[in-house]
């Protein structure tokens, strides 16, 4: 009964949802495109071969898509006869799917959770399995899959204490939904228990860890000959400012100038995120009177050099191997932070600004382990670095804790795949 009332409410609110899309499209025109997909009224894509079993993965936006990437890659490898459909709800999520996978997967927007739209979508695409990422639980979606005997897996599952209270408040709607899940692969013991308390079957809940910790780093790859060797052998403390964004380099340089006043031998390895800005950033450094070297020119390190510009592509892992402390960019400007797991995987203390929404949960976990420190602005960044640089034991402990956290979660993907395999095995054998 509650699901019927919920369905009525969703249907009544659908016009408001389309109005919101129209408003958002004023600044982001992508929101006014492909609107038929929001109600599952689009034609079945020509690429969809109904003779092939389909694995459907729903990743609501960018963060979930990134987390699902190693899973998608492994599923493509393990089940080559299956097609893969990825759904999202935002244009940024859609763009990230295209960027990561091109035409090797199908993509569509997830329809609004009306009973009719979800029935149409499931009937049209005929999935063999639905994998939902994190907390993307929609009553009509799961009900539509259940009616067509499509198993539903909640992967990388998390449930905050606040959300758990909400689930219990509407137990008449959420408990039946949770009991229809084939599997809940939770990030932690706490998440697992909250799902059980909210109504999921205990036998169907497993702790597999967080997929967001799956980061590909090559610890053994040799450093490129030449300047990297010189920097590595210089014994200078290297601070990397990785994947910085427009408006952020000025803040980083302001902080670093203060660091130099206290630690004159420190070297800043500055790596902008976008290659089209390399020359612009070089001019920013020179305008401040700082001695600059550039990777693109294979400049040799000198004792006087204060900033080395990592203006190359595909060498970030080598840059991290040179660093003692990592500031991860996109965080002192409001772009949500870049990947904090890469430096953590190398055992490097991590510092970020306050904008962390792309990696919010990861930052919280690293900070809880005392492996990451958040600063509100460039002044506090300078203060923190000045204190951290001479404290070698604290650097080592932060790096050890971060690397250990990454290592503990590395088995999350094999653990999840081992649970999915029995579900897909009959299809793979068919």
Q: Where are the beta strands (DSSP E) in 40-165?
A: 54-58, 83-88, 106-109, 129-133, 152-157
Q: pLDDT digit string (tens) for 341-363?
A: 999 999 999 999 999 987 887 89
Predicted local distance difference test score (pLDDT) of residue 427: 57
User: Would the CA dihedral through 245, 250, 256, 258 be positive or negative?
Assistant: negative
Predicted local distance difference test score (pLDDT) of residue 426: 66
Clarify whether residues 62 and 198 are in a common domain: yes
Clarify whether residues 133 and 196 are in a common domain: yes
DSSP assignment of 261-281 equals HH-TT-EEEEEES-GGGHHHH
Clarify whether residues 189 and 236 are in a common domain: no
Clarify whether residues 157 and 30 are in a common domain: yes
**Do the beta carbons of residue 285 and residue 256 sit within 8 Å?**
no
Angstrom distance (rounded) from CA 430 to CA 428: 6
* Geometric angle at alpha carbon 243, from 227 and 288, rounded to 5°: 70
Q: Which segments of the chain have a pLDDT < 70? A: 1, 218-226, 426-430
> In the structure encoding, which two tokens stand for residue 181, read together?
């899940």
Predicted local distance difference test score (pLDDT) of residue 64: 84
Clarify whether residues 402 and 421 are in a common domain: no
| Four-point Cα dihedral 271, 241, 212, 131, nearest 10 | -40
Clarify whether residues 304 and 376 are in a common domain: yes
Residues catalogued as catalytic: 64
Predicted local distance difference test score (pLDDT) of residue 97: 92
Asked if residue 417 is part of any domain, the answer here is yes
Angstrom distance (rounded) from CA 317 to CA 156: 26
> In the structure encoding, which two tokens stand for residue 113, read together?
């959770």
Clarify whether residues 339 and 414 are in a common domain: no
Clarify whether residues 95 and 168 are in a common domain: yes
Asked if residue 141 is part of any domain, the answer here is yes
CATH of the domain at 299: 3.40.50.2000
> In the structure encoding, which two tokens stand for residue 130, read together?
């639905």
Predicted local distance difference test score (pLDDT) of residue 224: 61
Clarify whether residues 140 and 161 are in a common domain: yes
Q: What is the pTM of this model?
A: 0.74
Asked if residue 5 is part of any domain, the answer here is no
Where in the sequence is the domain holding 231, given as residue range(s)?
A: 227-408
**Do the beta carbons of residue 43 and residue 74 sit within 8 Å?**
no
Angstrom distance (rounded) from CA 115 to CA 285: 57
């Amino acid at each position: 009964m509650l699901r019927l009332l919920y369905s009525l409410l969703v249907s009544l609110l659908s016009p408001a949802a389309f109005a919101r899309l129209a408003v958002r499209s004023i600044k982001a025109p992508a929101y006014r495109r492909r609107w038929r997909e929001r109600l599952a009224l689009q034609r079945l894509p020509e690429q969809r071969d109904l003779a092939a079993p389909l694995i459907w993965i729903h990743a609501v936006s960018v963060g979930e898509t990134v987390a699902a990437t190693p899973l998608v890659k492994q599923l493509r490898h393990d089940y080559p006869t299956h097609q893969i459909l990825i759904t999202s709800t935002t244009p940024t999520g859609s763009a990230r799917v295209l960027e990561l996978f091109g035409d090797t997967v199908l993509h569509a927007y997830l329809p609004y959770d009306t009973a009719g739209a979800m029935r149409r979508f499931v009937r049209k695409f005929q999935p063999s399995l639905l994998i939902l990422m994190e907390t993307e639980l929609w009553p009509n979606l799961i009900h539509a899959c259940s009616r067509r005997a499509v198993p539903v897996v909640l992967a990388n599952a998390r449930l905050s204490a606040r959300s758990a209270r909400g689930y219990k408040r509407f137990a008449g709607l959420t408990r039946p939904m949770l009991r229809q899940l084939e599997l809940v692969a939770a990030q932690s013991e706490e998440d697992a228990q909250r799902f059980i308390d909210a109504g999921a079957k205990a036998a169907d809940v497993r702790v597999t860890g967080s997929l967001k910790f799956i980061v590909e780093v090559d610890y053994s790859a040799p450093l490129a000959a030449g300047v990297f060797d010189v920097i590595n052998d210089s014994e200078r403390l290297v601070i990397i400012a990785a994947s910085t964004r427009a408006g952020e380099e000025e803040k980083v340089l302001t902080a670093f100038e203060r660091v130099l006043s206290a630690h004159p031998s420190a070297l800043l390895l500055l790596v902008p995120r976008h290659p089209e800005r390399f020359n612009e950033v070089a001019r920013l450094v020179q305008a401040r009177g700082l001695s600059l070297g550039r990777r693109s020119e294979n400049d040799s390190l000198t004792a006087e050099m204060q900033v080395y510009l990592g203006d190359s592509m595909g060498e970030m892992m080598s840059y991290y191997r040179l660093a003692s402390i990592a500031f991860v960019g996109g965080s002192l400007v409001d772009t949500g932070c870049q990947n904090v797991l890469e430096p953590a995987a190398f055992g490097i203390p991590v510092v970020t600004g306050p904008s962390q929404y792309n990696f919010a949960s990861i930052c919280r976990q690293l900070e809880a382990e005392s492996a990451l420190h958040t600063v509100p602005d460039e002044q506090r960044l300078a203060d923190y670095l000045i204190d951290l640089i001479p404290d070698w034991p604290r650097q080592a402990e932060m790096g050890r804790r971060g690397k250990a956290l990454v290592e503990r979660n590395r088995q999350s993907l094999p653990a999840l795949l081992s649970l999915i395999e029995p579900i897909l095995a009959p299809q793979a054998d068919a």
